Amino acid sequence: MRFPFSLTRSMALYMLRKKISGQKKFPLVLMLEPLHSCNLHCSGCGRIREYADTINKHLTVAECLNSVTECDSPIVSLCGGEPLLYPEIVELVDRILRLGKHIYLCTNGQFLENRLSDFIQLSYKNRRTKRKMFWNVHLDGSESLHDAIVEKPGAFVKAVNGITAAKKAGFYVYTNTTLYKKTEIAELTDLARQLEQIGIDGMMLAPGYGYESVSAESFFLTREETYEKFKSVRKLLGQFRMTATPIYLDFLCGERKLPCAAWANPTRNIKGWKSPCYLVTDRHYATYRDFIELTDWSRIGHGNDPRCEHCMMHCGFEPAAVLFGNRLRDLIRLAIWQIS
């Protein structure tokens, strides 16, 4: 299966309850950023620029747990910054798992191999750890391209060593790769083969988007360039375990329109609930309810806000592919894709 059955079942039942209740806007994944500190200075990252004034601050475990309860999504993505720098990361993972949530722990992989023993020990105490916690390791392409983008020689090898160790220890491991103008699809194919040999569980690919905090960078994709890149991706990488749903992939290839559903992947960080989305910031709200009720959702998306012109990011459009792909043909395609 593309994703573990426990995750698929939890998400399906959750969405069914929400649909029956008539709730129109509800979260699928909470993007929880307990800190913005990071050990890398990636060319395409806006966090270390946008949150320079709070870069050395972090949420408490209690604040994180209150946010998880307040939002109540079935999945929590622990991101940042680099979550493995968070002093109480093991305790936080344990407490979130005890709330019955699934966790994506997003990391650049530089500390993964050294910190893995802490999570192996946690799995002895909490049997949900290996079943409901997934490592999500960021790899921006081949070794040379990745090391150039994260501005650290040897970073690729260190991340791959961490991935290999995590798989040997029995954890679920996925990777996250952003495509830029300079990304060569042939190199992505080589990367996919390398990761397949390690036995990773899935590979997420997303188009690089030059949002406000990094808009001066020249290597991000336009919408038209995204279409061309992903047509090649679908043709050459279709044999590998990509995690992009077929409906979202249609969108990335320019063959289907989708609304932005950024409200389904809310971001909570040190300053509050980030509005309107993970990438663009108008303000931060003190509560999740205020975030949902006071954000003007009619403004977001292509054609409504010039900042969104070239955005096709998974945080807004992958949930839309799941939520609005309701035709029978879509459901059949999703089912076949999931079990393949």
Domains, the chain, ordered by start: 5-15+25-339 (3.20.20.70)
- Tell me what pLDDT residue 212 has: 58
Query: How many CB atoms within 10 Å of residue 340?
Result: 8
Which whole number is the average pLDDT over 235-255? 93
- Output the pTM of the full model: 0.94
How are beta strands 172-179 and 281-285 bridged, if at all? Answer: unpaired
**Are the C-beta atoms of residues 142 and 159 closer than 8 Å to each other?**
no
Q: Greatest CA span in the chain, whole angstroms?
A: 51
Q: 61-79 pLDDT, tens per residue?
A: 999 999 999 999 999 999 9
Which whole number is the average pLDDT over 83-103? 97
* Percent composition of the chain: helix, strand, coil (DSSP 3-state, to 5): 50, 15, 35
**Are the C-beta atoms of residues 294 and 243 closer than 8 Å to each other?**
no
Q: What percentage of residues in the chain have a pLDDT greater than 90?
A: 70
Alpha-carbon distance of 151 to 153, in angstroms, equals 7
**Are the C-beta atoms of residues 333 and 247 closer than 8 Å to each other?**
yes
Alpha-carbon distance of 170 to 279, in angstroms, equals 33
The gap between the terminal CA atoms of the chain, to the nearest Å, is: 6
DSSP-based three-state secondary structure for 94: helix
- pLDDT score of 45 more than 90: no
- Tell me what pLDDT residue 216 has: 46
